Amino acid sequence: MRSATNPFTFGSLAQDEAFTNRGTEIATLAADMRNGQDVVVLAPRRYGKTSLVLRAAQQVLDDDVLVAYCDLMRTPTKLRLAGALAKAIVDDLLSPVQGLLERAGAVVRGLRVRPAVEVDPRDGGVRFSFEAVRRSADIDATIERLLELPAEIAAERDRRVVLVFDEFQEIVRIDDTLPNLMRAIFQTQREVGHVYLGSRRHVLTAIFNDRHEPFWRSTKQIELGRIPMDELGSFVRARFEASERDIDDDAVARLLELTDGHPYATQELAYFTWEHVPHGHAAHGADVEVALVNVLRSEHNNLARLWQDATPNERLVLLALREEPGGLYAEAYRRRHGLPASASVQRAVAALARDDVIERTPDGLWTIVEPFLGEWLDRGVDDLPRQREEG
């Protein structure tokens, strides 16, 4: 008999049964997609934004909505952006009745800069390669044309179209004039909805919430929070039971205490807990503690890099928050934890919050939100590498 495979997923997209609840958010976003509503999805890093959007996209595809996905992290230049847009249009929006290269040819014919076209062996789709041009206006016109095409396709096919831009904050790195161009085109595309998400929340927030930016007040905003503990607990239990293992209440409680509703962290700790439990047995609290050590070893390089890159004042803030989440600017708190002057604390807090390492709770207290950083600090910044070598 084949042994069951680990039912928990982290580090890659969580899809199908591996996706953790979010039923309300999925239904809301799917409705927005069907209605052509522009949406920006805001959340800290590793909250499952991409998985959520792709899950909603799966639903609306069944309703004949056409969804094209473009990851801007893979497009550091305007040439690569043009290639990614062309690929998304051909792969996801044009009718599959036409052959792949025929569809590609239909797109290329209308572009000022003609790319090389070839079949992509990685996914069987098509790949566009734009060479450098002497006049930047030519590639600008090409991108403009590609951004206009989804609305024309929506009209021709009499279908709603949704464009998903992942890592949208990268658009300002590619060219800071692109937001103006995109906004000018998108505001006329009633047949096309746009979904924006990314891993740099503070940059996305600036793009959509700054009154001086072209995308100001142009979208509905969905803020992803922590998943309720009862939903996460039910998810963990169900995944254990479906894979021929069990987990007792104490183990679930300890696992959720350590992850505090963070979806990625819960998947990761549950993954290592499951791995420690033999087939047909149940996980107990001691198994979660063993799993935590294995998680910290796995995450050590990331957490050590975060610590090494932090300034001395940022480190002091992190150590203080690990001891006591609180009001960092209060004089008594700063004195109790040996923090510097309020202005220095403010700069440290701004940097840590920008990188989603800490956040302010609804009651005004600051707390560490980077998964497992607190537990890593508790063990000492040098302990885990030695444990790994001894193991």
- Check which CATH number belongs to the domain holding 74 and give it: 3.40.50.300
* 372: alpha, beta or left? (left if phi > 0; alpha if psi -120 to 50): left
pLDDT for the residue numbered 382: 52
Q: Are residues 236 and 344 in the same domain?
A: yes
Q: Which of 179, 200, 223 is the last residue of a domain?
A: 223
**Would you call 325 exposed, middle or buried from its count of C-beta atoms within 10 A (0-12, 13-18, 19+)?**
middle
pLDDT for the residue numbered 380: 63
Domain membership of residue 15 (yes or no) is no
The one-letter amino acid at 229: M
Per-residue pLDDT tens over the stretch 82-100: 999 999 999 999 988 788 8
Angle at 237 (CA atoms; ends 234, 243), nearest 5 degrees: 135
Per-residue pLDDT tens over the stretch 64-78: 999 999 999 999 999
Q: Are residues 81 and 123 in the same domain?
A: yes
Domain membership of residue 349 (yes or no) is yes
Domain membership of residue 189 (yes or no) is yes
Q: Which of 197, 223, 249 is the last residue of a domain?
A: 223
Task: Give the Cα separation of 262 and 280 in Å (integer).
Answer: 28
Average pLDDT of the residues in 331-352: 95
Is residue 362 predicted with pLDDT exceeding 90? no
- Percent of the chain scoring above 70 in pLDDT: 94
Band of residue 388 on the pLDDT scale cut at 50, 70, 90? very low
Band of residue 61 on the pLDDT scale cut at 50, 70, 90? very high
Q: Positive or negative, the Cα torsion across 31, 33, 39, 45? A: positive
Contact 161, 33 (CB under 8 A): no
Per-residue pLDDT tens over the stretch 12-47: 554 444 455 678 899 999 999 999 999 999 887 778
Strands 192-197 and 161-166: parallel
Tokens in use for 321? 């928050």
pLDDT for the residue numbered 196: 97
Is 248 strand, coil or helix? coil
Domain membership of residue 7 (yes or no) is no
Predicted TM-score of the model (pTM): 0.82
Task: Give the Cα separation of 13 and 18 in Å (integer).
Answer: 9
Q: What is the CA radius of gyration of the chain?
A: 24
Q: Are residues 188 and 52 in the same domain?
A: yes
Per-residue pLDDT tens over the stretch 107-123: 999 899 999 999 888 87
Q: Are residues 302 and 174 in the same domain?
A: no
Q: Are residues 199 and 245 in the same domain?
A: no
Q: Are residues 166 and 261 in the same domain?
A: no
Contact 301, 32 (CB under 8 A): no
Q: Are residues 181 and 239 in the same domain?
A: no
Q: Which of 188, 204, 223 is the last residue of a domain?
A: 223
Domain membership of residue 9 (yes or no) is no
Among 40-49, 188-197, 239-248, where is mean pLDDT lowest? Answer: 40-49
The CATH number given to whatever domain includes residue 252 is 1.10.10
Contact 78, 72 (CB under 8 A): no
Tokens in use for 366? 């600051």
Domain total in the chain: 2
Domain membership of residue 11 (yes or no) is no
Give the residue among 212, 248, 198 at the shortest CA–CA distance from 53: 198
Q: Are residues 258 and 360 in the same domain?
A: yes
Phi, psi of 194 (to 5 degrees): -130, 130
Q: Are residues 246 and 348 in the same domain?
A: yes
Query: Chain-wide mean pLDDT for the chain?
Result: 90
CB atoms near residue 189 (< 10 Å): 20
Domain membership of residue 8 (yes or no) is no
Residue with tokens 């199908």: 16
Q: How many residues are recorded in the chain?
A: 391
Q: Which of 29-38, 132-141, 379-388 has the highest mean pLDDT?
A: 29-38
Is residue 384 predicted with pLDDT exceeding 50? no
Per-residue pLDDT tens over the stretch 220-237: 999 887 888 998 999 999
DSSP run (H or E) holding 358: strand 358-360
Q: Are residues 156 and 279 in the same domain?
A: no
Q: Are residues 97 and 54 in the same domain?
A: yes
pLDDT for the residue numbered 20: 59
Give the residue among 209, 212, 264, 255 at the shortest CA–CA distance from 234: 255
Give the residue among 31, 44, 41 at the shortest CA–CA distance from 373: 44
Q: Are residues 219 and 242 in the same domain?
A: no
> Number of C-alpha atoms within 13 angstroms, CB side, residue 252?
18
Give the residue among 303, 291, 297 at the shortest CA–CA distance from 386: 297
Residue 39, beta-bridge partner list: 195, 220
Is residue 181 predicted with pLDDT exceeding 70? yes
Q: Positive or negative, the Cα torsion across 242, 294, 52, 225? A: positive
More confident of the two residues 47 and 63: 63
Is residue 306 predicted with pLDDT exceeding 70? yes
Between the two ends of the chain, the Cα-to-Cα distance in Å is: 31
The one-letter amino acid at 106: A
Is residue 1 predicted with pLDDT exceeding 70? no
pLDDT for the residue numbered 119: 85
Tokens in use for 186? 């998108």
Is residue 361 predicted with pLDDT exceeding 60? yes
Residue span of the structural domain in which 150 resides: 22-223
Among 195-204, 234-243, 298-307, where is mean pLDDT lowest? Answer: 195-204
Residue with tokens 């309720």: 228
Is residue 166 predicted with pLDDT exceeding 50? yes
Domain membership of residue 82 (yes or no) is yes
Band of residue 385 on the pLDDT scale cut at 50, 70, 90? very low
